[in-house]
Homo-oligomer: A and B are copies of this chain.
């Protein structure tokens, strides 16, 4: 994903505490052509693990996930950060956000996560891995199988990958940030 890496170097901004802002093209304003390329790339990388469903978490995982689902011709389900009144049969987990220094509940309907499912999880960022761990908990509660995890950007120095590797699923990140020291984006 050279196009993605170039864009991160060009438009990404570093902030204190290991924060990388990519809100002009990934997670506030979004570039749909780049998102489509991202979806195509994930579809190629994960074809071999044969998922039957894509899962993500609202809100900024939705765009890369729907594009991946489009190219793989698979349904996409997003976990919600609050339980809607009308959701029955919900599975729930708690995620701790380091960036926001708070905990939040994540829910998904059992109707859309079942023991037959082979799940590919897609998200915009892999940082400490907490959101991904929450999603894995939901997948385990449902008796479904995790077959892959795809991240648009991985912040390697926050070591989330270590937490996820024990789960045995393939992990792919399209751009890996080694560090953000001295306000400079160092790509792998």
Contact = CB atoms under 8 A, between A and B. Distances in A.
A91 interface: no
A73 B30 contact: no
A148 B85 CA distance: 31
Contacts of A85: 99-100
Contact of A109 (B28, B59, B66, B80): B28
A66 B21 contact: no
Interface in A10-38: 15, 19, 21, 23-25, 28-33, 35-36
Contacts of A84: 100
Nearest to A101: B85
A23 B34 CA distance: 27
Contact of A32 (B70, B87, B109): B70
Given A21-B86, A66-B67, A32 B76 contact: yes
Interface in A66-101: 66-67, 69-70, 73-78, 80, 84-87, 99-100
A19 to B, nearest CB: 6
30 contacts: A23-B87, A23-B109, A24-B111, A28-B78, A28-B80, A28-B87, A28-B108, A28-B109, A29-B75, A29-B77, A29-B112, A30-B66, A30-B69, A30-B76, A30-B77, A31-B75, A32-B66, A32-B74, A32-B76, A33-B70, A33-B73, A35-B70, A59-B78, A59-B80, A62-B62, A62-B63, A62-B66, A63-B76, A84-B100, A85-B99
